[in-house]
Structure 1
Amino acid sequence: MRKLSKKSRITAAVAGVALVAVGGGAAYAYWTTTGSGSGSATNSTGGGTVTLHATFAGGLAPGNEVAVAYTADNSSTTGTVVGALSANVTTNVAGCLPAWFEVTAVTSNSPVAAGATGTSVGSGVLKFNDSAANQDACKSAIVTVNVTSS
């Protein structure tokens, strides 16, 4: 093997220092590892409770009927679905018998968005049945249609 000259040794030393400096700037180190984890949270308790409304025209008389519109308000932050509706009639006068009235409620799984008001959820008919009995107690009586959903 041939001996390096003083100039070659200096050049080689400078090149080595430069190589270490440049290589050292680009070098990096890291650790390898493994791991696992999880997260959880409790869901909402449900879509909340909607407020149902029945709207119909006044002025019923024995033998007449009127259309009933059912709507829902949802004050919760979650949308929900209103299922089957049930309705019944009450009056504010003892002699005006709820049995003289018939009310229907037709619906089919109606979605009600979060924060919605007045969403249509069904329809029906309110009938004031004609009776052989005197129905004068119902004159000017307030007839209320109560509605619930399941």
Structure 2
Amino acid sequence: MSKVAGRKKRIIITTAALVAIGGGAAFAYWTAAGVGDTTTTAGTPTNFTITSTVAGGALSPNGPTQTFTFTVTNPGTGVQKLTNITAAVAGTNGAAWTSVTGCSKDDFAVGSPSFTATEIPANGFITGTVTLQMVDRPGVNQDGCKGATVPLHFAAS
């Protein structure tokens, strides 16, 4: 009987140990909490680039109109909205044009640029046109404009 009792005792102890180990593993866990933050930087707009070509005869007082075809390109990495384009007889960066004696911006009329306001995708472009004409200024000698290279300045926003 003692063999049977010892054997039963071992079975009971082994079973209890397995239940304790197995039961403990089934319900064992760690509690934890955590938070995390990160940041990134939004880019900044990249200035549009504008190029143009001109078609038409030489300018003269009240003479033919020249038509400029311009291209506005978005060299940035994302979409940028083009809402306005201006064109004016002006020097680099819109500075007053004074390089020709006897000829000024007042001798010319620039039309309103024709284009479609739109969103331009990265590396995309739009085209438009604008006209330029030399005006007749009665009583004013416009000889200074003969052979002058007339700068047209574009600005896009």
Pick the TM interval, shorter chain. Answer: 0.5 to 0.7
Shift of 1:52: 2.1
Q: Does 1:115 align with 2:115?
A: no
TM-score, structure 2 normalization: 0.65
CA distance in structure 2 between the partners assigned to 1:30 and 1:109 by the alignment: 61
CA distance in structure 1 between the partners assigned to 2:66 and 2:27 by the alignment: 83
Map 1:1-150 to 2 at 5 A.
Answer: 6=4, 9=8, 12=11, 16=15, 23=22, 27=26, 29-44=28-43, 46-57=44-55, 59-62=57-60, 63-90=63-90, 92-104=99-111, 105-116=113-124, 119-132=125-138, 133-150=140-157
Mind listing any 5+ residue stretches in structure 1 that lack a counterpart?
Answer: none
Q: Greater helix share, 1 or 2?
A: 2
TM-score, structure 1 normalization: 0.67
Identity of matched residues, %: 30
- Specify the alignment match of 2:93 in structure 1: none
Q: 1:21 to 1:36 in 2, by over 3 A?
A: closer
Q: What is the number of residues matched between the two proteins?
A: 144
Mind listing any 5+ residue stretches in structure 2 that lack a counterpart?
Answer: 91-96
The root-mean-square deviation of aligned C-alpha atoms, in Å, is: 3.6
Shift of 1:89: 1.0
